[in-house]
Structure 1
Amino acid sequence: MEYIGPAIIIGTIFFGIVSIIKTISEHFLRRKMIDNNNLDEQTVHALKLENNPYASLKWGMVAFFGGMGLILLEFIPYEYDSPLPFGIEAVMISLGFLVYYFFVQKKLERV
């Protein structure tokens, strides 16, 4: 249990470095393709240059359900070493993704 703190710190630093490198390399690739005018429909889709009007809704739903999971944990008694809080939080975050998915599917069916 004493090794979990350093492992989380190292994982966070690694994830941060990888995210920064990925973002920078994707930016340079997109800029180079736009400068060379190599944009067709397939390239635009591959580079994800299209706008997703529901992107902020997705993360809002995930954050909302994650917060609801934390509020729920405040009222449920559990032992210190119990995996129950992790399970409840994972289920609530997953529920947020599922609600978002079904909401967007219903919106796309209407269009």
Structure 2
Amino acid sequence: MKHLAPFIVMIALLIAIAVIIVVITNYNLKRKILNKENIDERMYMILNNLTGFNTEMLKWGIILLFGGAGLIALEFLPHNENSPLPYGVLTVFVALGFLTYYFLMKNQKK
């Protein structure tokens, strides 16, 4: 598990960099659209699609929260090194995160 920590940190850094790039480019695009004098219906549709990024952040926050909870649960579950139990437990927790996000979005659309 200690050999996995640098890999997880690298993935987290790459995800953070990608999120920052997406946020900056969306902001610049919104600013350019809003600075135009005549805004038509197509521009409003583009703006609405760009503001959907907040739900993406919510999705990944919930998934990472449940994934972290799965890792914490694994710390307290007895298992040997060759057991597939950690993969199953982590998969179940991540799936619960996806399901939680799905039901939150389903209830929000009502």
What is the CA-CA distance between 1:35 and the residue it aligns to?
1.0
- What is the CA RMSD across the aligned residues, in angstroms? 3.9
Which amino acid in the other structure matches residue 90 of structure 1? Answer: T
What is the CA-CA distance between 1:32 and the residue it aligns to?
0.8
Does 2:9 align with 1:18?
Answer: no
Q: Secondary structure at the match of 2:18?
A: helix
Could you report, residue by residue, the CA deviation over 1:46-77 in whole angstroms, capped at 9, with x for unpaired residues? 2226976xx759845862x4454245324432
Aligned residues: 106
- Contact 2:67–2:93, Cα closer than 8 Å, also in 1: yes
- Contact 2:62–2:98, Cα closer than 8 Å, also in 1: no
What is the CA-CA distance between 1:98 and the residue it aligns to?
0.7
Percent identity over paired residues: 33
Q: Tell me how far apart the structure 2 counterparts of residues 68 and 23 of structure 1 sit (CA, whole Å).
A: 27
Cα distance change of structure 1 residues 39 and 7 upon mapping to structure 2, 3 Å threshold:
farther
Correspondence for 1:45:
48
What is the CA-CA distance between 1:88 and the residue it aligns to?
1.1
Q: Can you give the 5+ residue segments of structure 1 that lack an aligned partner in the other structure?
A: none
TM-score normalized by the length of structure 1: 0.58
Correspondence for 1:101:
102
TM-score normalized by the length of structure 2: 0.58
Q: Can you give the 5+ residue segments of structure 2 that lack an aligned partner in the other structure?
A: none
Q: Tell me how far apart the structure 1 counterparts of residues 45 and 16 of structure 2 sit (CA, whole Å).
A: 30
Which amino acid in the other structure matches residue 34 of structure 1? Answer: L
What is the CA-CA distance between 1:99 and the residue it aligns to?
2.9
